[in-house]
Structure 1
Amino acid sequence: MNILLTGSSGFLGSRLCTRLKNHDVKKLIRELSLSKESDNYIYCDNLSCFNNKLAFSNVDVLIHCAARVHIMDDTSTNPLDDYREVNTEGTLNLARQAVEAGVKRFIFISSIKVNGESTQLGKPFKFDDQRSPEDFYGQSKSEAEEQLLQLAKDTGLEVVIIRPTLVYGPGVKANFASLLNLVSKGLPLPFGCIKDNKRSLVSVDNLVDLIVTCIDHPKAANQVFLVSDDNDVSTNEMVQQMAKALGKSQWQVPIPTACYRLVGKVTGKEDVISRLLGSLQVDITHTKDTLGWKPPQTLEDGFKQTANAFLQSKLKD
């Protein structure tokens, strides 16, 4: 199978490259020097302006992982336009050129933020729920999805949309890494009362496995798939799993959730507190039933793999 991959140097893309070793993979990259080393590296500094027919030549499937990701404390003067330029216009630019070149399938890595920011406990997002993004990142991804599906109807391009939840794994950054680092210190943590929420997570290996499944699965065409480890956990349970994976004992202080909400209101960080206390669940029944797929890695094994990589990195520091 001939594949064109974007975002190959990222957290997900680099892991995906390892799984695609048996395929002929061309990669759109932003490193100009690297693009001169091999015909399989194609320089692309701006997705919305990219125009290179050779990049799409003999390509069967395009896997689009590159994106302008969600940025905390964004300093852009017009963030929505910036997100749209990459995530919407850039995506559609690639898709249109793929159509012209006769590419059969376009796999778009979207985001659960297209569905929204939170769910009521026990009422997970489903694949056919109405899109309801609440931030610019989610909006740009939602608009890309809508236009891709219309392009599929107009041209016959097979579009596959995958909306991951929070992705973790070896080398993970941001909030998950910060919490893992905190748990690794073995100190008492104030999450003892955060037991009544549930969050869906997905290991990077489970996400990669789903993407690979969608490369040539006949039933994947023009579908939207939600993905998780299929094992939702509360904040309290997540910390317990991290501690177990790190080989640390863990005592969680039972601070009432009302105290968190008060702190959030006083500090202006109510959105942060809401994510800590709230739920975000997805129902992956449609994904499993349509593709005959299930996550090959358990949440426990995913956490252990992530913790081992974290500990190894600490030894090198």
Structure 2
Amino acid sequence: MILITGSTGFVGRAVVERLLAKDELQCVAVAVRRAGPKLSERVVKHVTGDLESSTDWSAALKGVSAVVHCAARVHVMEDTAANPLEAFRNVNVQGTLNLARQAAASGVQRFVFISSIKVNGEATQRGQSFMADDTPAPLDDYGVSKMEAEQGLRKVALQTGMEVVIIRPPLVYGLGVKANFAVMMHWLQRGVPLPLGSINNRRSLVSLDNLVDLLMMCLKHPAAANQTFLVSDGEDVSTTELLRRMGIALGHPARLVPLPASLLELAAAIVGKADVAQRLCGSLQVDIEKTRRLLGWTPPLTLDQGLKKAAEGL
């Protein structure tokens, strides 16, 4: 049996659906914070409460051979916690390592951890890419907590023999996507003019389907054991090109005004939104050559196919 944490989230829910589509799996175990509606006859639900250092996972781990750990305290634009780093560490580090130690003790063979490209950093120079084995350089509290969780998981693997697989996705989009990606798609659908018509950056993204496909492979592939992988759609695009292709997927051509990136960055800095401008105008590219080489993995969906699926959810 496979246990999925964060099973009601954007990624976790898709993982459960993909696993249920596999005929060889009789049932799937999921961990949830609180009781809710029944999911499926083949889903064994365990109410574990919050992801903490004291959470008891014994019932949820019974009979489990692999764990896909999607649950986390996620990155937010304006964190209201008194000590954000401590809050991230309590969940993403201590909560994760508590689960991993109990999983190893219960006989779990493989632990797949959804980390973040933020462990590598926030940006790359155009034409350069983050590599899976680069020295970590997180710049925010969320990225630091994911890095520390990775470091702790590697120690658990060495101490117990449980295989750990770490996956660092960049921005994930797809059917049911929320936050800024969904906002952009709604604006395009309504024909709102956007001042992003001349952004010459490069960004890596990954569709939800491609990420879940890699997760499925990492559950079983022998070469995945104790490795760290980056993942993307295999095609990097500028913000301008992404918006144009979003518009095509939506059937509403993008209305883009060609303002210089430097002007946008200045305006954003004045209003205290420099981080937003960095994501829109800066580059963040990931190299998935290691993922391709070790696993023989190729993204099953193209960027345009992924955007089309995301558009279906609006």
Q: TM-score range by the shorter chain?
A: over 0.9
Q: CA deviation at 1:44?
A: 1.3
Partner of 2:216: 212
Q: Are 1:58 and 2:57 matched, yes or no? A: no
Query: 2:31 aligns to what?
Result: 28
Q: Cα distance, 1:37 vs. partner?
A: 9.9
Deviation, 1:253, is 1.4
1:251, distance to aligned residue in structure 2 (A): 3.4
Alignment of 1:251-266 (within 5 A): 251-266=255-270
CA distance in 2 between partners of 1:110 and 1:294 (Å): 20
Give the corresponding residue for 1:81: 86
Superposition CA RMSD, Å = 1.6
Which residue of structure 1 aligns with residue 108 of structure 2? 103
Report the TM-score when normalising by structure 1.
0.94
Residue among 165, 179, 183 paired with 1:178:
183
Match of residue 230, structure 1, among 234, 241, 246: 234
Question: Residues 78, 189 of structure 1: CA spacing in aligned structure 2 closer, same or farther, 3 A cutoff?
Answer: same
1:112 is aligned with what amino acid? I
1:181 deviates by 0.8
Cα distance in 2 for partners of 1:19, 1:93 equals 27
Distance in 1 between residues matched to 2:170 and 2:32, nearest whole Å: 25
Q: 1:34 to 1:284 in 2, by over 3 A?
A: same
Q: Contact between 2:46 and 2:59, CA under 8 Å: does it hold in 1? A: no
Query: What's 2:295 paired with?
Result: 291
**Which residue is equivalent to 1:17?**
16
Q: Give the 3-state SS of the residue equivalent to 2:196 in structure 1.
A: coil
Contact 2:48–2:57 under 8 Å retained in 1: no
Scaled by the length of structure 2, what TM-score is found? 0.95
Aligned length: 308
Deviates most, 199-208 or 262-271: 262-271
Residues 269 and 60 (structure 1), Cα distance of their counterparts in 2 relative to 1, 3 Å cut = same
Residue 143, structure 1, aligned to residue 142, structure 2: no
Q: Is the 8 A contact 2:188 2:253 kept in 1?
A: no
For 1:60 and 1:176, locate their aligned partners in 2 and report how far apart those are by CA, in whole Å.
Answer: 35
Secondary structure class of the residue paired with 2:30 = strand
- Deviation track 1:282-314 (CA, whole Å, cap 9, x = no partner) reads 00000011001100011000101111221xxxx
How far apart are 1:65 and its partner, in Å?
0.3
CA distance in 1 between counterparts of 2:121 and 2:170 reads 11
Match of 2:119 among 114, 118, 124: 114
In the TM superposition, residue 256 of structure 1 has moved relative to its aligned partner by 1.3
Q: Deviations over 1:159-201 (max 9, x none)?
A: 000001100001100110011111111233211111x200000
* 1:192 paired to 2:180: no
Query: Residue 173 of structure 2 aligns to which amino acid in structure 1?
Result: Y
The equivalent of 2:75 in structure 1 is 70
Q: Hey, what's the Cα distance between the residues in 1 that align with 2:298 and 2:159?
A: 32
**For each residue in 1:68-93, what CA deviation from the matched residue of structure 2 results, as whole angstroms up to 9, or x when unmatched?**
00011111101111111110001000
For structure 2, the residue ranges without an aligned partner over 5 or more in a row are: none
* Structure 1 position 262, deviation (Å): 1.8
Deviation, 1:32, is: 2.6
Partner of 1:282: 286
User: Using the alignment, how far apart are the partners of 2:75 and 2:66 within structure 1?
Assistant: 26
Q: Does 1:125 align with 2:130?
A: yes
Pair 1:249 & 2:248 matched: no
Q: Which residue of 2 aligns with 1:313?
A: none
